[in-house]
């Protein structure tokens, strides 16, 4: 049988490392002596391999891939649309999520519900920076709202984050 030493915190008034006395289990005298530089007291407990395996089985290991695939991805933030040099520039901040594959850019006339996809951009590096997309709407003198949604590796789409309306 294998035996493992597992550290367990044991605090005392001296704030020193305490080892149980082999005879009665109380802290041994070194705890009261000067010169100890340890700041986190430790008690070592003997555990068998079977006990460690039992403890490991009771701890959760996170969510399954199926559960992860059911989670809606984070939506982009800070979506801003501005007219610059005869086009509309849409900017937004990446989610920082490592499971996002790309962003879709949407456009709609501000007083209408129908929207259309006007572009798609793959993520860049760690997905934490600013993104930019240029669009030229076909109809001028209209108020437009732009939106951006994120798509993850499982094909899930985030909610669409919209800009304020802009006049083009």
Asked if residues 72 and 103 have their Cβ atoms less than 8 Å apart, the reply is: no
Which band of pLDDT confidence, cut at 50, 70 and 90, is reported for residue 55? Answer: low
The 10s digit of each residue's pLDDT in 140-161 is 999 999 999 999 999 999 999 9
pLDDT, mean over the chain: 78
**The pLDDT value given to residue 26:** 57
User: Distance between CA atoms of 96 and 78, rounded to whole angstroms?
Assistant: 13
Q: Residue 5 pLDDT > 90, yes or no?
A: no
Q: Residue 113 pLDDT > 50, yes or no?
A: yes
CATH 2.60.40.10 fits 74-167, yes or no: yes
% of the chain at pLDDT higher than 70 = 64
For 134-139, the CB contacts below 8 A with 24+ separation are 134/87, 134/88, 134/89, 134/90, 135/87, 135/88, 135/89, 135/90, 135/105, 135/107, 136/86, 136/87, 136/88, 137/88, 137/107, 137/168, 139/109
User: Distance between CA atoms of 163 and 107, rounded to whole angstroms?
Assistant: 10
> Does an H or E element contain 68, and which?
helix 65-69
Q: Residue 69 pLDDT > 50, yes or no?
A: yes
Compute CA distances 16 → 7, 8, 28, 98, 155, whole Å.
14, 13, 11, 43, 54
- For the chain, give every domain's residue range: 3-59, 74-167
The pTM assigned to this predicted structure is 0.62
């Amino acid at each position: 049988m294998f035996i493992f030493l597992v550290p367990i915190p044991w605090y005392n008034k001296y704030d020193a490392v305490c080892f149980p006395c082999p005879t009665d289990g109380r802290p041994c005298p070194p705890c009261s002596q000067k010169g100890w530089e340890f700041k986190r007291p430790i008690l070592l407990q003997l555990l068998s391999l079977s006990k460690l395996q039992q403890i490991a089985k009771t701890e959760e290991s996170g969510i399954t891939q199926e559960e992860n695939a059911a989670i809606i991805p984070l939506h982009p933030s800070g979506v801003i649309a501005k007219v610059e040099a005869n086009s509309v520039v849409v900017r937004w901040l990446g989610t920082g999520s490592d499971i996002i594959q790309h962003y879709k850019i949407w456009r709609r006339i501000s007083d209408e519900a129908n929207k259309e996809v006007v572009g798609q951009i793959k993520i860049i590096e760690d997905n934490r920076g600013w993104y930019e997309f240029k669009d030229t709407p076909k109809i001028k003198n209209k108020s437009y709202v732009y939106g951006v949604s994120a798509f993850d590796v499982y094909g899930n789409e985030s909610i669409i984050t919209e800009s304020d309306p802009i006049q083009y």
